[in-house]
Amino acid sequence: MIEVENLTKFYGNFQALKGISFTVEKGEILGFLGPNGAGKTTTMRILTCYFPATAGRARVAGFDVFEDAIEVRKRIGYLPENVPLYRDMTAEEYLRFVAGIKGVPSREITKRVERVMDDCGITHMRKKLIGELSKGYRQRVGLAQALVNDPEVLILDEPTIGLDPKQIIDIRRLIRDLAGRRTVILSTHILPEVSMTCQRVIIINDGRLVAMDTTKNLTARLQGNYRLIVKVEGPREAVIETLKKIKGIESVEPAGDGKNGGVTELVLNMDKRMDVRRDIPVAIVNNGWGLLEMKPIEMSLEDIFVKLVTKE
């Protein structure tokens, strides 16, 4: 549904996107994860034909975003980052305006607008000026305008930013309910958001794609303490050699600065299927060394994220 190939964007001399490629299948909800300034908004603005890329190609529903901008725009519902809406219009007026511009036939406008107001839970706010609505309701109006032409593709840029926790939960649920058979790209810099709403995740940092995986795989990595940190009082080389021999330990990485007066600090990567927590102290004590500490490293999505992002 969405194909992005080697997308590059310069703002003057500053390169915001350094060649990003990915595809999104029809009906998929893709999380677009990255810290502030990673290039999420820039990518989305190119996909929504707000501005062209400096180089590279992007196609939405088979149409090139540059060559066939109008065709692409007809098929997209876009919610920009700060939800810029006309404050001097009422929610209903605004939605009717957008429905018209998005090519909803005149006689269907009323029906469509009623429908999205109902879906987004803003029917009782229809006569209010958008400028008078709370942030949460404005977000809903923003979603409603994105959905009003029943688009195939939804592009949502940080849809929960600036909301309070309850509103965040509501909006996430709304997005999941409304996604339906649509293809959705949702950007965020909050990790749990991705695991809650998306099937697949792309992580970008500094204009580059650093990881692409299913949410399932990413969260699977969280489960179980498959990494241990150990502190051993003993000679570094010998300790590493000994531990490597234990079945079930896949690799041993030195940790800490190594200047800890005879104490060796190591991170052990382990096969999840084998529990070797008993074998480690035995091996160490048998060698006459002291086991000072042994604890599991809980890899959270945050850790994965930080690791991926700081790898370079």
Partner 1 sequence: MRNILLVFKKEVKSYFSSPVAYVVIAMFLIITGYLFYGLFAYFSTISFQAQIDPALARQARLLNITESVIRPLFGIISMIILIMTPLLTMRLFSEEKKTGTIELLLTYPITDLQVIVGKFFACMFVLLVMLVLSFIFPGLVIYFGEPEIGPIVSGYMGLILLGASFVSFGIFASSLTENQIIAATISFGVLFLFWMLGLSIPFVGPALGKFIDYISITHHLESFAKGVIDTEDIIYYTVFTLLFLFLTLRTLESHRWRG
Ligand X SMILES: Nc1ncnc2c1ncn2[C@@H]1O[C@H](COP(=O)(O)OP(=O)(O)O)[C@@H](O)[C@H]1O
Shortest Cβ 129–partner 1 spacing (Å): 9
Query: CB-hemisphere CA count at 13 Å for 283?
Result: 18
Tell me whether residue 16 or residue 308 sits nearer to ligand X (CB atom): 16
Phi, psi of 143 (to 5 degrees): -65, -40
DSSP 8-state class, residue 36: T
Kind of pairing between the strands at 29-33 and 63-64? unpaired
User: Euclidean distance between the first and final Cα of the chain, in Å?
Assistant: 31
107: which residues sit within 8 A by CB, 6+ positions away?
A: none
The mark string for 81-100 relative to partner 1 (x by CB under 8 A, - otherwise) is -x-xxxxxx---x---xx-x
| Residue 234's binding partner out of ligand X, Mg ion, partner 1, none, with CB under 5 to 8 Å set by partner kind | none
| 40-69 binders of ligand X (CB under 6 A) | 40-42
If the CB atoms of residues 73 and 200 are measured against partner 1, the closer one turns out to be 73
Specify the stretch interacting with Mg ion by CB under 5 A; choose among 11-19, 21-29, 40-48, 225-233: 40-48
Name residues contacting ligand X, limited to 4-23 (CB under 6 A).
Answer: 11, 14, 16
Residue 66, binding choice from ligand X, partner 1, Mg ion, none, Cβ under 5 to 8 Å by partner class: none
Output helix, strand, coil percentages for the chain, rounded to the nearest 5.
35, 30, 35
Quick one: how far is CA 306 from the chain centroid?
13
**Does 11 contact partner 1 by CB under 8 A?**
yes
Count, residues in the chain: 312
Contacting range for partner 1; rule: CB under 8 A; set: 43-51, 164-172, 210-218, 304-312? 43-51
Residues 142-201 binding partner 1 (CB under 8 A) are: 145
Residue 76 lies near partner 1 (rule: CB under 8 A)? yes
Asked if 249 and 291 touch (Cβ cutoff 8 Å), the reply is no
Instruction: Supply the angle between the helices 91-101 and 106-119 in degrees, to the nearest 10.
Output: 130
115: which 2 tokens?
């429908």
Q: Site residues (CB under 6 A) for ligand X? A: 11, 14, 16, 34, 36-42
Q: Site residues (CB under 8 A) for partner 1? A: 9, 11-12, 42, 45, 48-52, 70, 73-74, 76, 78, 80, 82, 84-89, 93, 97-98, 100-103, 145
